Amino acid sequence: MLEERGKQLEQDLTEQELPEEEVSEQEHLEQRLSVEEASQAIPAWVARIRQKVDEGGRPIRLMEICGTHTVAIARSGLRGLLRGAVEMVSGPGCPVCVTADAEIDQMMAYCDLPGAIVTTYGDLLRVPGSRGSLADRRAAGADVRVVYSALDAVALAQSNPDRPVIFLGVGFETTAPAAALAIKAAAEAGLKNFYVHSAHKMTPPAIRALLADDGSGRALQLDGFICPGHVSTILGEQGFTFLPAEYGLPGAIAGFEPLDILLAVDYLVDAALGRRPVELLNGYTRWVRPEGNRKALALIDQTFTPSAGLWRGLGTIPDSGLALRPELARFDAAAAFPASLLPPPPRRGCRCGDVLRGVIRPPECALFGRACNPQRPLGPCMVSSEGACAAYHRYGDGEENLA
Amino acid sequence: MCLAVPARVIEIDGSRAVVDVMGNRLKADLRLVDARPGQYVLLHAGIAIEVLDDDEAKATLEAYRQVMGDA
C-alpha cells in the first residue's frame, strides 16, 4: 500500500516528458521533469546546501511535522545525504501516532456496544491501545470496518438504520473537513444512528508546545520548520506565519518530492544563517493558497470547536483538539456512549513519546528493530504508515545511503 | 490515514466526481473546491481538498529547471 502511494507521489513531478509534436495545450500542462533530470539535480543541490552550511560554520537542525514528510524524507535518502550539515528531525506529524493510549482505549470501547459498526481509517486498525488493537477486536468478533472515506461510514449508517455506526475521526486539519462533510451529510439525511468520535487535532498548538520551555531550560534547539504541505492547503500560509512572527523562526511549506524538500531545506538554511530574511516561505504554491481553503475552514468552524487535546508524548495541550460543537452533540460518539475506563498503564520501554517530540531518533529506542518491528509493533510510531519508526525501519537511517 | 494524491477530474455529477489517479478511477466529493473536468484536484480520504494551480505548477517546474541549470 505504501509502495503504491509512494510511487504515486513520485509521479507527480517526475513522469517522462511527452514528445513536442504530440503535445496539446492540456498535455503541455502535464509535462513533468524527467526522472533523469530530477535525479541529476539532487546531488548537486545537496552539495550546494552542504557548502553553505560549511561556510556558515555550524550544523543546522530542522524539524518536519508531517507524517507524509517523514516518509518522503526517509524514502528520498535526503537525511543521509545531508547528514553532518543539516539534521532532519521528525516531529509529531503522524496523527495516528500522537493519539494517546487513553483515547485509543476509548475508541476501542465502542466495539463492545451491541450491534455497533465501528468504522476507521486503515491506519488505525493495528495500533495497540493498552488492551490490544481494533484488529484484535475484529478478530474476536467485533464489527470493525476500514473505510477509505468518512462518507463511506455515512453510507453504512444509511444502510444499517438499526445499528449504531461510529466513525473514528483521527487526523489533522487536512482530515477534519472530511469528518465535517460526513456529519453534514448525516444531518441532511436525518440519520439517527451515525456518530463521530473526534480525535482530530490541530498542528500549530503542538509546535508551540514543542517550542515552549519546559522549565528545565531544554527547549528543543531548532533552526526552522518544514511545514506540512497538505495541512497548509487547508490553513493557508497564515497557518504558520506565527513561526517567524512570534518565535523568530523560519518556516517553509513544502511539497513531497525530493526537489520540493530541498527547496525548503535550502531556504531554511539560508534563513538560519542570516543570508535571507526569516519568514514563512510557501514552497508548495501549486496547491497551497495564501488564504488556504476557505470552504474547508468555514466547515471546520461550523462543525468543531477547539478543545483540550491529549497528545502522546506532549500530554494535554489546551485548544489543540477539535470537538464537535454542542449543537451537533447528537453525532458525538463520546457524548452518546461515554465509557469510564481505567487509565492505561505506561508502556514499558516504548519511547514513541520521545520520538514524536524529536528528542530521540527511532534507532535510539532500545526496542527499535528488536522487540518492536513492523511485524510485531509495540507502539504507534512503528504501526502507522506515517510513523517515524516505521519510516526509519523501512528506509534506513540514512547512513547506508552514502555511496 | 490516507495520503493526499493528485487526481484528474473525469466527470462531475452534482457534488461528486469520478477522478483518475494513476489510471485508477475513484470517486471524489467536490464540495470543498470549485473544479472542472480536466483539472487536477488533491484527493484526500475521498474528498477533493484543493484544485491544482496550473500557473504555479508551471512556475515551480521552471524554478526547478533553473536550479538544474545552475547545477
**Could you give the residue ranges of the DSSP H alpha helices within A57-175?**
67-76, 78-82, 101-109, 134-139, 150-159
Least confident window among A219-223, A229-233, B16-20: A219-223
Summary count for chain B: helices (H), strands (E):
1, 5
Q: What stretch of H or E contains B49? A: strand B47-51
Q: How confident is the model at residue A18 (pLDDT cuts 50, 70, 90)?
A: very low
pLDDT at A25: 40
For A160-182, what is each residue's pLDDT tens digit? 999 999 999 999 999 999 999 99
**Do the chains contact at B3 and A5, CB–CB below 8 Å?**
yes
* Residues of chain A contacting residue B22, judged by C-beta atoms under 8 Å apart: 7-8, 11
**Do the chains contact at B1 and A386, CB–CB below 8 Å?**
yes
For A116-164, what is each residue's pLDDT tens digit? 999 999 999 999 898 889 999 999 999 999 999 999 999 999 999 999 9
Give exposure, A247-283, as e/b (b: 16+ Cβ within 10 Å).
eebbbbbbbbbbbbbbbbbbbbbbbbbeeeebbbbbb
Q: Is A241 in contact with A227 (CB distance < 8 Å)?
A: no
Task: Write the residue in A7, A13, A121 that is nearest to B2 by C-beta.
Answer: A121
Nearest CA in chain A to B48: A178
pLDDT at A28: 39
Percent of chain B with pLDDT over 70: 94
Q: How confident is the model at residue A19 (pLDDT cuts 50, 70, 90)?
A: very low
What interface predicted TM-score (ipTM) does this complex get? 0.92
Nearest CA in chain A to B30: A181
Which one has a higher pLDDT value, A216 or A62?
Answer: A62
What is the mean predicted confidence (pLDDT) over A53-68? 95
Provide the CA A40 distance to its chain's centre, in angstroms.
29
> For residues A158 and A154, what is the distance between their CA atoms, to the nearest angstrom?
6
pLDDT at A208: 93
Least confident window among A238-252, A314-328, A341-355, B20-34: A341-355
**Do the chains contact at A295 and B31, CB–CB below 8 Å?**
yes
> For residues A286 and B64, what is the distance between their CA atoms, to the nearest angstrom?
13
* Residues of chain B contacting residue A95, judged by C-beta atoms under 8 Å apart: 1
Q: Is B6 in contact with B52 (CB distance < 8 Å)?
A: yes
What is the mean predicted confidence (pLDDT) over A344-354? 89
The pTM score is: 0.88
Q: Is A14 in contact with A35 (CB distance < 8 Å)?
A: yes
**How close B51 comes to chain A (CA, Å)?**
7
Report the candidate in A188, A128, A171, A183 with the shortest Cα–Cα distance to residue A299. Answer: A183
